[in-house]
Structure 1
């Protein structure tokens, strides 16, 4: 076992503190990664504060990890020491079920192993990227293209793939009208990626406060959802709506914006149930769906796509001492658009 520095939280109402955690010795297919940057995701906040269920504390969150390979197991073939790599929201799966065999490990029928707040195959709790090092089996490590800076790469491992996957699955591209609900950490990546795919992109945000940013990211249109006329004007418009908001919204109102056979896909994960009226769906054969992250193959595809199209998240790099403040700023929508921890400050 190796002891490494981390930032941990001891309860839903506790502040982050300095900690030391154990990382396992390398198995033959394991990779040791020196973490350089770790993004802060809204999921980190939900989990750290116990909003998604019971949590075993102390907890080290973080599933947007970018770093450098510093050691490899004897059987590793994909990576070598010095490689630039990333780790996202999962670090293992059964590898045998139908979904894993399809390259959809995120939907493992036995349950994938999350990067933190999970239990690994050794029966040990998983701890995430708010730390200096992590050990991950090579099959759940992805290569970061040289053209993407490591600090910008970190949020791609969650925010990037969480929006890329549904846009890819529902065939966003030329001739498609795509709306992104919310222009936050997820939403701004959705706009950039959908635009690069060739879709006509609209941002649906509560206000017009971020309109200039949204248009700069690639949106062709930007509407305030606080204005009731928005829903009248845009009724029946979109082929695909990606909802990135992790809070209650009027889903039925947004469903009315879909065209025939349109789909509204939820990637934000509010803790409360969201009521849907069936009549909002059946009138125009609309779909209300959900999407998680992508599998490892699709995550690598996303990184290569972002490198090819010059896509990177808009980030604010912070010290580990500022995690608590960053959490409050995320909840207040006071970030443009993703916090990234410089792990050398841990």
Structure 2
């Protein structure tokens, strides 16, 4: 066993604190990874607070993980000791269902769905296990830690053109927005709207722009209008009724990255006939859709969940080729609880990334 440590929450009402545990050593087709950086995702906060009613405690978040391979198990051919690699939202799936067979592990239809990098299988409202759950499939510990052990085919290669710390948020924020942009076939010249301009939204804007789209971001934060201009895209306040009225029936695709329940109806009105608005930021029910608007113009409102392993590698490579990286702020693990508050208050520009070397400062605590 590998003696490990990280930061975890023991209850929905507790803060993240130092937590000691053990991981099994790399077995056949598995790699052992020393974690270097881990992004902070808004879903980490939802999970720690049990806002999706499926959290297993102790909960150790972290699914935007970049590290260095330190050991490989028997049969490993894709990665070698010393490689800089990434681990995103998943570390396994059933591998047998139609979705997995088609390469869409993120839509695994097996009895336990895909195995999340932390908190175990991604199934809704599952009953928390009792007793010692530290080595069971219904609880996994994520990247707010010093080590990970992952099956090699769920480990991504970090291209040389990406800094490891910048690559971390691409493993979730990047692929979560890349997947719908690709699936709904955004083309050069398309007019694309991005609702929400936080961690996911700013990556969506960068990716869509690099794909050749004409990008408009809708934000509730006046200060972010200048940020949009800095990225070379148009920024509009989402409650600017005059601006919205002038944009009716003009967009080819709209992606909502707002991480909580919200009203998409004003933005459905901005779609052209036969076009789609896709929500990726919220897993709870949205406000009811005005079906008069969708039916009268054959518009669609859809959803999308993270991305497949192949899509994740694809977006990493795309970002390396196009010089795209998220805007990040490096923090120490000791500042994680303060960082959570700032994320909830919208005070981060745009993504926190934990330097996991800071974990050594209190590893003996």
Bin of the TM-score, shorter chain as denominator length: over 0.9
Structure 1 position 194 matched with structure 2 position 212: no
What per-residue deviation string (whole Å, max 9, x for no partner) do you get for residues 77-108 of structure 1? 10000001000001000111111111110001
> 1:204-255: per-residue Cα shift (whole Å, max 9, x none)?
1124321121122231x21111221122111111110000001233221111
Matches within 5 A, 1:275-294: 275-294=288-307
**Residue number in structure 2 paired with 1:167:** 181
Alpha-carbon offset, residue 113 of structure 1: 0.3
The change in CA–CA distance for 1:225 and 1:286 in structure 2 (over 3 A counts) is: same
Q: CA RMSD in A?
A: 1.4
| Separation in 2, partners of 1:136, 1:247 | 30
Do the aligned partners of residues 50 and 192 (structure 1) sit closer, same or farther apart at CA in structure 2, a change above 3 Å counting? same
1:95-174 matches, within 5 Å, as 95-110=95-110, 111-118=113-120, 123=137, 125-174=139-188
Following the alignment from structure 1 to structure 2, what is the Cα–Cα distance between the partners of residues 214 and 21? Answer: 43
117-126 or 261-270, larger mean C-alpha shift: 117-126
Q: Deviations over 1:134-190 (max 9, x none)?
A: 000001000000111111011000000001111111111212110001110000000
How far does residue 5 in structure 1 lie from its aligned partner after superposition? 1.4
Q: Distance in 2 between matches of 1:157 and 1:236?
A: 33
Establish whether residue 31 from structure 1 lines up as the match of residue 31 from structure 2.
yes
Tell me, yes or no, if the aligned pair for 1:191 and 1:218 is still in contact at 8 Å. no
3-state SS, counterpart of residue 283 of structure 1: helix
Distance in 1, Cα, partners of 2:105 & 2:283? 23
Q: Distance in 1 between matches of 2:137 and 2:351?
A: 32
- Aligned partner of 1:178 in structure 2 is 192
Distance (whole Å) between structure 1 residues aligned to residue 221 and residue 65 of structure 2: 32
Deviations 1:229-283 (A, max 9, x none): 1221111111100000012332211110100111100011153443112112111
Q: In structure 1, how many angstroms separate the alpha carbons of the residues matched to 2:263 and 2:25?
A: 49
Rounded to whole Å, the distance in 1 between the matches of 2:284 and 2:10 is 21
Contact 2:157 2:313 in 1 (8 A): yes
Q: Is 2:55–2:119's contact at 8 Å kept on the other side of the alignment?
A: yes
Q: Name the residue aligned to 2:363.
A: none
- What is the rounded CA distance, in whole Å, between the counterparts of 1:167 and 1:269 in structure 2? 17
Q: Say yes or no: does 1:330 pair with 2:343.
A: yes
What are the superposed Cα offsets for residues 281-311 of structure 1, whole Å, 9 maximum, x if unpaired? 1111111000011111111011000000000
- Who is 2:73 aligned against? 73
Q: Secondary structure at the match of 1:292?
A: coil
State the distance in 2 between where 1:326 and 1:49 align. Answer: 15
- Is 1:211 the equivalent of 2:225? yes
Question: What do the CA deviations read for 1:48-78 (whole angstroms, capped 9, x no partner)?
Answer: 0010014221110010000100000110010
Q: Does 1:268 align with 2:281?
A: yes
Distance change in 2, residues 1:300/1:166 (3 Å): same
Match of 2:258 in 1: 245
TM-score, normalisation: structure 1 = 0.97
* Residues 270 and 230 of structure 1: CA distance in aligned 2, closer, same or farther (over 3 Å): farther
The CA distance in 2 between the partners of 1:232 and 1:193, in whole Å, is 26
* Gap regions ≥5 residues in structure 1: none
**Aligned counterparts of 1:180 and 1:167: Cα–Cα separation in 2:** 11
Aligned with residue 313 of structure 2, among 295, 300, 305? 300
